[in-house]
Amino acid sequence: MEILVTNDDGINSPAINKLAEVLKQYGNVTVVAPDRDQSGKGPSITLRDVLRYNQVNINVDKVNAYAVEGTPSDCVILANKEINPKGFDYIFSGINYGANMGSDILVSGTAGAAIHGYLSGTLSVALSIASLDAVQTDITTSIEYSAKICKFLVNNNIKDPQIINVNFPNLPRNQIKGIKSTYIGPKVEDEIILKETRGRGNYYWLRLDLKENVEFPKDTDMKAIQDGYVSISPVDINLNPGGSDNNQYIVNQLTEYLNK
């Protein structure tokens, strides 16, 4: 099996080498990730600048890793077209620090990489944890679940192109209530503009904050995370809520497997 691991937090994210380490037991893993944080880039690609990549060492034995001066989607394209033209059986994007839920996944670089994986004809899994703190967050449980997801796909030879969006609550294993098959909920984040005046000019920063006093709909990804469950959602490229019937079937089977 050929497995591509990518992300939008960048090649130096502490999560990417841990993910590569556990997934290599299921196939030949190649890591191709941005050389810096590319959060919020969605499925954008670079058209008006050059693309460069360099081989790097992420201290994972028998795993080749590359850092790309570009977006997460650029990483997937370069991986497929240049680094490993044979292609991949699976693409895993993450584990991202910060949940990617609801229609806000349309601006997520983590989901964007998975979208381009799907467009290349590959089953792609986006992985995120509901914490922005890459230093203090313990992702051990999320890594274990990610490995089980890969094991399920490999053992059942599931390769049909689709996108599966997975979110983990920031909880220890004994506090996670289980796994839920969910659908992509509505937009839950507001864009906040921070303005500062320096010298003769104005400067702006953009921040995403959860909307206040939001009642998350039943069976949505954000409701599952709020209640302490792992959320697994099919993503329909046609943007229909819940994904296609076939994708929902696979997610339901995967949910049942992880709950055992």
Q: How confident is residue 202, by pLDDT bands cut at 50, 70 and 90?
A: confident
Q: Report the alpha-carbon distance of residue 130 to residue 80 in Å, rounded.
A: 29
What local confidence, expressed as pLDDT, does residue 245 receive?
60
What local confidence, expressed as pLDDT, does residue 215 receive?
80
Mean pLDDT check: name the lowest of 211-215, 237-241, 245-249: 237-241
Residue 260 reports pLDDT greater than 60: yes
Q: How confident is residue 8, by pLDDT bands cut at 50, 70 and 90?
A: very high
Residue 197 reports pLDDT greater than 60: yes
Q: How confident is residue 57, by pLDDT bands cut at 50, 70 and 90?
A: very high
Q: According to CATH, what is the number of the domain 2-183+217-258?
A: 3.40.1210.10
Nearest to 25 by CA among 143, 149, 147: 147
pTM for the whole thing? 0.91
What local confidence, expressed as pLDDT, does residue 227 receive?
95
What local confidence, expressed as pLDDT, does residue 26 receive?
98
Residue 89 reports pLDDT greater than 70: yes
For 211, counting Cβ atoms within 10 Å of its Cβ (0-12 exposed, 13-18 middle, 19+ buried), the class is: exposed
Domain residue ranges in the chain: 2-183+217-258
What local confidence, expressed as pLDDT, does residue 159 receive?
93
Residue 206 reports pLDDT greater than 90: no
CB 146 within 8 A of CB 20: no
Average pLDDT, the chain: 92
Segment 28-33 mean pLDDT: 98
pLDDT digits (tens, 9 = 90+) for 137-194: 999 999 999 999 999 999 999 999 999 999 999 999 999 999 999 999 888 777 788 8
Query: Residue 163: beta bridge partners?
Result: 124, 235
Residues 6+ apart with CB under 8 A from 155: none
Q: How confident is residue 243, by pLDDT bands cut at 50, 70 and 90?
A: low
